[in-house]
Amino acid sequence: MAKCTIRYWAAAKEAAGTAEETVDADNLAQALAAARRLHPDDRFQRVLGSCSLLVGENPVGRRPHGDVEVTEGTVIEVLPPFAGG
């Protein structure tokens, strides 16, 4: 497994109680499962479910999370929806 960094922004940062953390994973699904284990409260789960994700600066979009590989040093950005115009 690779060590990757999850960075939380805005409401995701508030729900996680931290700006970033390191998890061990081989793919995005494993990384998000690790984050859910670290933050089992309902609020974090809801916020995470509404976020857009970037892996290594590339949008994940609708790709299955298990198909998105992570390697040592990969950065996963967790971006909640932003209000505004």
E strand map for 11-63: 20-25, 52-55, 58-59
pTM: 0.93
pLDDT tens across 31-67, in order?
A: 999 999 999 999 999 999 999 999 999 999 999 999 9
| Residue 69 Cα to chain centre, angstroms | 13
Residue 30 domain-assigned (yes or no): yes
**Residue-level pLDDT at 1:** 93
* Amino acid, res. 36: R
**Going edge to edge, which strands form the sheet with 20-25?**
20-25, 2-8, 75-79, 52-55, 58-59
The domain that contains 70 carries what CATH number? 3.10.20.30
**Residue-level pLDDT at 82:** 77
Residue 26 domain-assigned (yes or no): yes
Residue 84 domain-assigned (yes or no): no
E strand map for the chain: 2-8, 20-25, 52-55, 58-59, 75-79
